[in-house]
Structure 1
Amino acid sequence: MEMIKKRFFLGLGLMLACIALSMAHEPVEKVKPNFEHVIPNIPGKSLIALEVDYPPGGASIPHNHAKSSFIYAYVVEGSIESKVNNEKSKIYQAGQSWFEEPGAVHSISRNVSKTKPAKLLAVFVVDTDDKELVTPVK
């Protein structure tokens, strides 16, 4: 379990550093762990939940997630615009959700409002050994 925590925080730290460097002049989201647990009846898989807080006008840089990860995203507060792969960009309101297949590219993830915050809960089903949950798209 300690290895999972170290891997998780290392990946989270790298993701936040990349985001901060790439968006030095724009509001940046804050990501914090919400839940993590090995799935006992699915060997090699873990469930990880992250809270993503977007300030007014905040956005994530284009990214993809660990190749093994299936993601369920739920808007807790506000309105978030999301674009995954070649799908059209869509705005999700609080209470709405979407999913991302393994290997998907998330080219847009941003708070639609310039005056109000937004919050997203991202739930990953991922290989326990995957070290990086988020990789910036170059």
Structure 2
Amino acid sequence: MMSKILFSALLAVAALSSVPATHAHTAGDSVKPNFSHAIPNIPGKSLVAVEVSYPPGGASQPHTHAKSAFIYAYVVSGSIESQVNDQPAHVYTAGQAFYEEPGAHHRISRNASKTEPAKLLAVFVVDTADTALTTPQDAGEGR
């Protein structure tokens, strides 16, 4: 029998993957669930991973993640330009990583190349009960 925590984590991934592109992500990116599991020694927390793929020139709209989420992002291929909060924008290439603190505003997340695709793996440590992993924002929100 599946535990309630694991079931909730799977619901979180399902919610992320079933949200229409205009609500969580734009036509400039695609998100695919990769992994989800409750963390057995941290009650109420889960590890959720998603693959974010960008076509050449593709981008996500500015967004925040679940307020409980600590996120580790690893660039699998290509190059990703990212700006979190008021930090300077930075381009990360394949093999490099960055993180987002809980409550951070991800102002820029896009493929840095106009000719090559890019992919990153985003790993969330998140409250199991949080089902809305990504919330889009207008560029001026979250300041």
The answer to whether the superposition gives a TM-score over 0.5 is yes
How many pairs does the alignment contain?
133
- Is the Cα–Cα contact under 8 Å of residues 15 and 134 in structure 1 kept in the other structure? no
Could you list the per-position Cα deviations for residues 33-74 of structure 1 after superposition, in whole angstroms to 9, with x for gaps in the alignment? 111000000000000010111000000000000000000000
Correspondence for 1:63: 63
Unaligned runs of 5+ in 1: none
Correspondence for 1:111: 111
How far is the alpha carbon of 1:28 from its aligned partner? 1.6
Q: Percent identity?
A: 59
Mapped partners of 1:52, 1:37: distance in 2: 19
- Is the Cα–Cα contact under 8 Å of residues 70 and 101 in structure 1 kept in the other structure? yes
- Is the Cα–Cα contact under 8 Å of residues 12 and 133 in structure 2 kept in the other structure? no
- Is the Cα–Cα contact under 8 Å of residues 80 and 118 in structure 2 kept in the other structure? yes
Question: For residues 124 and 76 of structure 1, do their structure 2 counterparts lie closer, same or farther at Cα, with a shift above 3 Å needed?
Answer: same
Matches within 5 A, 1:1-138: 1-14=6-19, 16-19=21-24, 23=26, 27-138=27-138
Cα root mean square deviation, aligned: 1.5
Give the TM-score taking structure 2 as reference length: 0.87
| Structure 2 letter corresponding to 1:43 | P
Give the TM-score taking structure 1 as reference length: 0.90
Unaligned runs of 5+ in 2: 1-5, 139-143
